[in-house]
Structure 1
Amino acid sequence: MTETIGKVTLNLDKYPGEDYYCDGSVEDEILEIVKKYSTVEYDRIIAERKSWPILYHLSALRENIVDFLPIKKTDKVLEVGSGCGAITGALSRKAGSVTCVDLSKKRSLINAYRHSESENVTIHIGNFTDVEPDLPADYDYICLIGVFEYGQAYIGGSTPYEDFLKILQKHLAPGGRIVIAIENKYGLKYFAGCKEDHLGDWFSGIENYPNGGVVRTFSRKKLEKIFDACGVGERSFYYPYPDYKFMTTVYSDAYLPGRGELSNNLRNFDRDRMLLFDEKSAFDGIVEEGLFSVFSNSYLAVIGKPLDLKYVRYSNDRAESFRIRTEILRDDRGNRIVRKYPLTKEAEAHVRHMMEAYEKLKGRYAGSRLDVNVCHPGEEDGIPYAEFEFVSGRPLSELMDECLDRQDIEGFHSLFAEYLERVGFGEEVPVADFDLIFANILVDGDHWTLIDYEWTFDCVIDTKALAFRAIYCYVLENERRNALELDRILDRLDITENEARQYREQEREFQKYVTGQKLSMGEIRNLLGGEIYKPTEWIGRFRQSEGELRVQIYEDKGQGFSEENSYFPENVYVAEKEAEFTVKFDGNVHYLRLDPAMCSCICKIRELSMNGQPVPLQDKKVFTTNGKILKSEEGADHPSVIFATEDPNMTIRADVLNRQAENTLSVKMEIVQIPQAMAKDMMGVEKKGAAAWVFGQR
């Protein structure tokens, strides 16, 4: 049985009649959105709804993971686990035909409605094992994006992942490719405090899934073992960053990240996370040690002929007019080249502008010590691109970082001075690259090359304005760079406080110009409310509170209380906020003073007894305090006491109780630190409540 939605065909021959999994009402909400709104409105809806599922299923950035694949219009594509169609649209635009398989009818309806104009899409609804026998054996690409980890649920048995892959291989055309996007079980983000993507708990993948379940992610080594068991020959691995879900960059073994590149790590859209360490710094060390393939957050494994691409970067978190893709690949002669493609029709003018910018900047810097990377125009399938030479060298920002690391401040300023001299050449010419940041200059000995001049404008821009922005961006990228003496830099540039304020405002306006009305992914993360917890701060606060919540005991043997006759009992706390201890004292002690903390606090007395007899807390001749005793439903022996002072205390007169030669005071209480202002408010409310009770006020 088939249905059609627009130009999309839905095949229900293997549909069991009900959906066995569903995300609940949010899927109804998404279905309503795709029925009512066009794709160009999704960004606005994502910002308005502030919902992780809506972002995850409808963001155009989800397509990045397959957009760069060299799929041709003659190719047949099989997408297993197509869900709500996050990548189906990209596959449809590239391929001759796309066959989708998904168990959920609701999700398949969402897919069909959002791509209703795609006449080359057929969606099979049903369990993969039921649909698979009817599928042909000539697919050029088989895509499993966030699906392979569910092999146990799809296939079952003792070797589900091997069996899953063997089944897929039967449907691959000669020379075809299987593309698998999956989280790395040992991705750095999990060590740094992100929750496991599927189970939503901390460290479950790292701990080898101790609680079981059907979902499994893998290391690269384990994936290769699975491939070997299936007789896979050619295979290659690529590294989506920050991960495959909202990928902005793809690295390969032929082009790995450099130091300082992996700085976009706070991507916890769906869940709270901890921040156990600085991931950027950790990645820098991992890159230097050659371990990136071990700790990459995600993998894109390609079974079949390796891709020609070595590197891809997406800049589509922008306004439509500026969305581009940057690739590093090899030309027909085997030489590395760099290409920039427009991702929208509107962005074609932006790409053509790069070629114009090259000619103008080449003219400005002719005869200088700053080279401008050569740019050539090109066209592919009617789409223009800008082609650049692949330049060797190290980013100027990396050289500056090394100076800071070895505390060579003069070396840093020497590089900065050279930057000013080189980029300031021809300052009076009405053309300038506004984005002349340190990372956009490659240094090879005495050879400095400007490699990216996307944001070139036909106007004069003061060198000090360009340099201020370069420093501003450099410091913002990494907190460790705050060690720079910024006053010295501002003095060198002769920038006043008012000018600095104007430059910062200019930067904000530039970012608005680039992004248009589209929110950045960082802004969206803030909207969704994923908290970032820093345990190092917790520990600091705990240690501080631990010191402030120390219990101190004073003994008065007739001379009054003094620090000399006081001590701190050990091992007071049996649990967080729960104190339980005993105080031993002899028969010469007249008064015993108990200070529950060294800060304002509230104490709930569970037990206060001397030699086995409760201390009569309501008898002011026996028990006094500088706090406020609150009435308790548990009786007079178990009140709470509020202290709005940094020297809270309770005094017990021992000589009028059953004092003996050797005595024991037993104490059990809950102690909670509270701000002093809050404690005063609580004491005021208690007094007001008493007055209302007496005078009948409401």
Structure 2
Amino acid sequence: MGQNENLKKNKIEEIGKVKLDYSDYSGEDLYCDGDVEDELLEIVKHRPPSDYADVIEERNSWPILYHLSPLRGNILDWVPFPAGKSARVLEVGSGCGAITGVLSEKAGSVTCVELSRKRSLINAYRHRECGNITIHVGNFREIEPKLPKDFDFICLTGVFEYGQDYIGGEAPYEDYLKILLPHLAEEGRLLIAIENKYGLKYFAGCREDHLGTYFSGIENYQDRKGARTFGRNGLEQIFRSCGVEEYHFYYPYPDYKFMKMLYSDAYLPGKGELSDNIRNFDRDRMLLFDEKSAFDGLMEEGLFPLFSNSYLAVIGKGFDIKYVKYSNDRAPEYAVRTEIAIDEEGAAFVRKCPLSREAREHVRGMAASFEQLRERYRGGRLDINACCLEEQGEDLWARFAFVRGTSLAELMDGCLEKGDIEGFYRYFREYIDRVGYNSEYPAADFDPIFSNVLVDGDRWTLIDYEWTFGKPVETKELAFRALYCYLLEDGKRERLQLSRAQREIAVTEEEAQKYRAAEQAFQRFVTGDRLAMCQLRDRIGGKVTAPLDWIDKYEDSAQINRVQIYEDKGEGFAEEGSYFVKDAYEGENRIALELRVAGDVKQLRVDPAFAPCAVKIQEVAWNGEPVALYGRKVLRANGRIAFPGKKGDRNCPSIVFPTEDPGFTIALGKLPRREENVLCIRMEIVRLPLAMAQDLG
């Protein structure tokens, strides 16, 4: 009996504790990513999840990173599921299980629907210790009628955009929702993670995620086939047409695939926060403008929700969590999630939650750090954000007050934008004075960077101090590190002279090198020698091409490669008697001249460029007749002239000009002249570095 016949007969396959239901499986996988799925299956069969980080770094492969990175689960990990693992979850399009594991940890049961058997096997093997997962393999349309109608959560992560392919019809996306919504319990929620077709990254030069083409979504998908994403208004129209009365938008950054931060309409990003934009792991991209600066402008105009790269749309009630930041690309013992939430009384607060059992002690230490730093700065002018520990069952978190104010980094940026360097240094000196208070005390936060200090009038508050050590640290080292991190975060801050800042805090170059080495050691300490996402992008990612550089070079060439003509009527060449030839360049290094020359012009000088270059004269014709350049002293140049050896080519010399003012002269005295003549010259030109031109010339 063949494998497919056996599956149809038995219908259920068990991989560890995971059940796969083949009742509606056709026996053929219609969606497949090829050999990489075989590779993934071998990995999850023989390597535990704890090895996946090693595998990702070993393989340097986008599909391996995409399917196995634990950061994929961030998009739903933060969602506050009911206590006691009572939630029933439906995951449509579960794929290779990048999200399934997170759902399994939080829910009572997870029902997956997946078209591909191979992907379902990958999912099952990687989660074979989870006893609450059932995977239905087959077409959603055939499986859907048998599904329960009491799910607390229905999750579509990177799935809704395929509605045209899997649902079809005139209104596939509306029909998709109308099919799904009846399967929700009364207070249930439907979660849709999807790219925004008007995401800023697409305007800035990223390819459309599904089609791999430039500007497809922005141009409203001229080819209507295949995946299709939507802007915020487009999604809202679909929701309303399906009778949805309550929905909420959340904004994953940089996108939902590897979410680092999540914003909401109640807590939008501030200026300077969105700097992690070069994320092209899977393909080449252009870089048309600085996305960070563009995001800053959109925030000023209140337009960020329309240009967020991705959305997490929640149909149903929203959540009390308004902001999330993930720090889970660290070593397990330091992996945490930071949230801004609203308590029962409507007050905002901040909490840090451990993302692993190993990180619980790190979170516990935050309350102790608060006590140490509060004691150190007692009597000083730096407030320490209050922290206490809270526990609920097995859950533990550190709770902080929500402090309002403007980050010191933003205030410093404002000074730089206005060219107020002295204003910047006034803030910097104030920072040194406040952070350096009681510096001999045996406790110091190693990470009081400018963005971790909020300013509200005369009140300065250190809001994040998770890297507090029980020993003193020199104030100038803390100040140098804060400045060093500030400069690294934004290239536009390079206008600040680091040398002057070093003088402000009396840091020698030798000390600066020592502090940089200490910073690198600290980062290795935090990450556990794991590669950060930016390092993985450098290994895996595609090319970043900046077309503006080409334009600059073209415009530069247009200035340098101008052709200037001088006429000598017996008094020599003069600047006032010269002119430039418009449109002389035909492209591909070709110059074509057709010059009207009066009968009293005795010689003509042609300056082909304003830079060292090599010129190959291909043709010179006077009134339609070829001009013999070789051997008649018709041609002179301020460069080295080389005539070809072949007799038939000897009127086509090459000239190397080792000067930024190249020029050659054609004597017209021996040529038959009319009252008005036509001189045609065709040539090729290549610009050369001066040193090379001097060697050749």
The two structures have a TM-score, normalised by structure 1, of 0.90
Q: Say which is worse superposed, 509-518 or 21-30, in terms of deviation.
A: 21-30
Which whole-Å CA distance do the structure 2 matches of 1:164 and 1:629 have between them? 74
Candidates 398, 411, 415, aligned match of 1:399: 411
Q: Say which is worse superposed, 408-417 or 285-294, in terms of deviation.
A: 408-417
Query: Is the partner of 2:358 in helix, strand or coil?
Result: coil
Partner of 2:8: none
Number of equivalenced pairs: 682
Query: Is the partner of 1:541 in helix, strand or coil?
Result: helix
Which whole-Å CA distance do the structure 2 matches of 1:113 and 1:652 have between them? 81
Shift in Å at residue 566 of structure 1? 4.0
> C-alpha offsets along residues 461-506 of structure 1, whole Å, 9 cap, x if unaligned?
1112112212222222223333445444333322222222211221
Which whole-Å CA distance do the structure 1 matches of 2:370 and 2:25 have between them? 57
Query: Is the partner of 2:357 in helix, strand or coil?
Result: coil
Matches within 5 A, 1:433-448: 433-448=445-460
The residue type paired with residue 26 of structure 1 is: V
> C-alpha offsets along residues 211-231 of structure 1, whole Å, 9 cap, x if unaligned?
443222212111111100001
1:662 maps onto 2:676 in alignment: yes
Which whole-Å CA distance do the structure 2 matches of 1:175 and 1:542 have between them? 60
Candidates 61, 70, 75, aligned match of 1:65: 75
What percent identity do the matched residue pairs reach?
A: 58
1:263 maps onto 2:303 in alignment: no
Partner of 1:53: 63
Partner of 1:415: 427
Partner of 1:76: 88
Q: Say which is worse superposed, 325-334 or 307-316, in terms of deviation.
A: 325-334
Which whole-Å CA distance do the structure 2 matches of 1:557 and 1:373 have between them? 84
With over 3 angstroms needed to count, the CA separation of the structure-2 counterparts of 1:355 and 1:533, relative to structure 1, is same
Which whole-Å CA distance do the structure 1 matches of 2:617 and 2:174 have between them? 62
The residue type paired with residue 389 of structure 1 is: A
With over 3 angstroms needed to count, the CA separation of the structure-2 counterparts of 1:137 and 1:678, relative to structure 1, is farther
Candidates 364, 371, 383, aligned match of 2:383: 371
Query: Is the partner of 2:282 in helix, strand or coil?
Result: coil
1:26 maps onto 2:39 in alignment: no
Candidates 646, 658, 676, aligned match of 1:645: 658
The residue type paired with residue 643 of structure 1 is: V
1:532 maps onto 2:536 in alignment: no
The residue type paired with residue 338 of structure 2 is: T
Give the root-mean-square deviation of aligned CA atoms. Answer: 2.9
The residue type paired with residue 611 of structure 2 is: C
Which whole-Å CA distance do the structure 1 matches of 2:349 and 2:243 have between them? 34
Query: Is the partner of 1:341 in helix, strand or coil?
Result: strand
Matches within 5 A, 1:105-144: 105-144=117-156
Whether the aligned pair in 2 keeps the contact of 1:84 and 1:107 (CA below 8 Å) is: yes
Which whole-Å CA distance do the structure 2 matches of 1:110 and 1:606 have between them? 65
Partner of 2:491: 479
Query: Is the partner of 2:236 in helix, strand or coil?
Result: helix
Point out where structure 1 has 5 or more consecutive residues left out of the alignment: 685-698
Whether the aligned pair in 2 keeps the contact of 1:181 and 1:299 (CA below 8 Å) is: yes
Partner of 1:517: 529
Query: Is the partner of 1:311 in helix, strand or coil?
Result: strand
Candidates 28, 35, 47, aligned match of 1:37: 47
Candidates 465, 480, 489, aligned match of 1:453: 465
Matches within 5 A, 1:316-355: 316-355=328-367
Whether the aligned pair in 2 keeps the contact of 1:605 and 1:637 (CA below 8 Å) is: no
Query: Is the partner of 1:310 in helix, strand or coil?
Result: strand
Which whole-Å CA distance do the structure 2 matches of 1:466 and 1:562 have between them? 64
Shift in Å at residue 78 of structure 1? 1.5
Query: Is the partner of 1:473 in helix, strand or coil?
Result: helix
With over 3 angstroms needed to count, the CA separation of the structure-2 counterparts of 1:93 and 1:674, relative to structure 1, is farther
> C-alpha offsets along residues 487-539 of structure 1, whole Å, 9 cap, x if unaligned?
44333322222222211221111111111221111111111243333333333
Whether the aligned pair in 2 keeps the contact of 1:358 and 1:372 (CA below 8 Å) is: yes
The residue type paired with residue 385 of structure 1 is: W
The residue type paired with residue 537 of structure 2 is: R
1:11 maps onto 2:21 in alignment: yes
> C-alpha offsets along residues 675-696 of structure 1, whole Å, 9 cap, x if unaligned?
4566689x69xxxxxxxxxxxx
Whether the aligned pair in 2 keeps the contact of 1:403 and 1:412 (CA below 8 Å) is: yes
With over 3 angstroms needed to count, the CA separation of the structure-2 counterparts of 1:564 and 1:291, relative to structure 1, is closer
Candidates 394, 412, 434, aligned match of 1:382: 394
Q: Say which is worse superposed, 580-589 or 622-631, in terms of deviation.
A: 622-631
Matches within 5 A, 1:98-177: 98-177=110-189
Query: Is the partner of 2:525 in helix, strand or coil?
Result: helix
Shift in Å at residue 177 of structure 1? 0.8
Shift in Å at residue 315 of structure 1? 0.5
With over 3 angstroms needed to count, the CA separation of the structure-2 counterparts of 1:77 and 1:672, relative to structure 1, is farther
Matches within 5 A, 1:575-594: 575=587, 577-589=589-601, 591-594=603-606
Partner of 1:200: 212
Shift in Å at residue 300 of structure 1? 0.6
Whether the aligned pair in 2 keeps the contact of 1:604 and 1:638 (CA below 8 Å) is: no
Q: Say which is worse superposed, 410-419 or 600-609, in terms of deviation.
A: 600-609
Which whole-Å CA distance do the structure 1 matches of 2:442 and 2:24 have between them? 66
Query: Is the partner of 1:254 in helix, strand or coil?
Result: coil
Partner of 2:306: 294
Which whole-Å CA distance do the structure 2 matches of 1:18 and 1:615 have between them? 75
Matches within 5 A, 1:603-618: 608-615=620-627
Whether the aligned pair in 2 keeps the contact of 1:642 and 1:679 (CA below 8 Å) is: no
Which whole-Å CA distance do the structure 2 matches of 1:606 and 1:117 have between them? 76
Q: Say which is worse superposed, 643-652 or 268-277, in terms of deviation.
A: 643-652
Shift in Å at residue 578 of structure 1? 4.0
> C-alpha offsets along residues 69-88 of structure 1, whole Å, 9 cap, x if unaligned?
12342222111222222211
Whether the aligned pair in 2 keeps the contact of 1:184 and 1:298 (CA below 8 Å) is: yes
Shift in Å at residue 586 of structure 1? 3.4
The residue type paired with residue 257 of structure 1 is: P
With over 3 angstroms needed to count, the CA separation of the structure-2 counterparts of 1:193 and 1:620, relative to structure 1, is farther
1:217 maps onto 2:233 in alignment: no
Shift in Å at residue 181 of structure 1? 0.8
Partner of 2:585: 573
Whether the aligned pair in 1 keeps the contact of 2:630 and 2:651 (CA below 8 Å) is: no
> C-alpha offsets along residues 88-129 of structure 1, whole Å, 9 cap, x if unaligned?
111122222222222233322322232232232222232322
Candidates 309, 317, 320, aligned match of 2:321: 309
Which whole-Å CA distance do the structure 2 matches of 1:132 and 1:325 have between them? 35
Which whole-Å CA distance do the structure 2 matches of 1:356 and 1:491 have between them? 35
The residue type paired with residue 47 of structure 1 is: E
With over 3 angstroms needed to count, the CA separation of the structure-2 counterparts of 1:648 and 1:368, relative to structure 1, is closer
The residue type paired with residue 29 of structure 1 is: E
Query: Is the partner of 1:522 in helix, strand or coil?
Result: helix
Which whole-Å CA distance do the structure 2 matches of 1:485 and 1:651 have between them? 50
Which whole-Å CA distance do the structure 1 matches of 2:562 and 2:277 have between them? 39
Query: Is the partner of 2:96 in helix, strand or coil?
Result: coil
Whether the aligned pair in 1 keeps the contact of 2:628 and 2:651 (CA below 8 Å) is: no
Shift in Å at residue 142 of structure 1? 1.0
With over 3 angstroms needed to count, the CA separation of the structure-2 counterparts of 1:11 and 1:670, relative to structure 1, is farther
With over 3 angstroms needed to count, the CA separation of the structure-2 counterparts of 1:622 and 1:628, relative to structure 1, is closer
Point out where structure 2 has 5 or more consecutive residues left out of the alignment: 1-10
Query: Is the partner of 1:26 in helix, strand or coil?
Result: helix
Which whole-Å CA distance do the structure 2 matches of 1:416 and 1:292 have between them? 30
Which whole-Å CA distance do the structure 1 matches of 2:16 and 2:629 have between them? 79
With over 3 angstroms needed to count, the CA separation of the structure-2 counterparts of 1:104 and 1:560, relative to structure 1, is farther
The residue type paired with residue 518 of structure 1 is: R
Q: Say which is worse superposed, 147-156 or 280-289, in terms of deviation.
A: 280-289
Partner of 2:4: none
Which whole-Å CA distance do the structure 2 matches of 1:92 and 1:177 have between them? 17
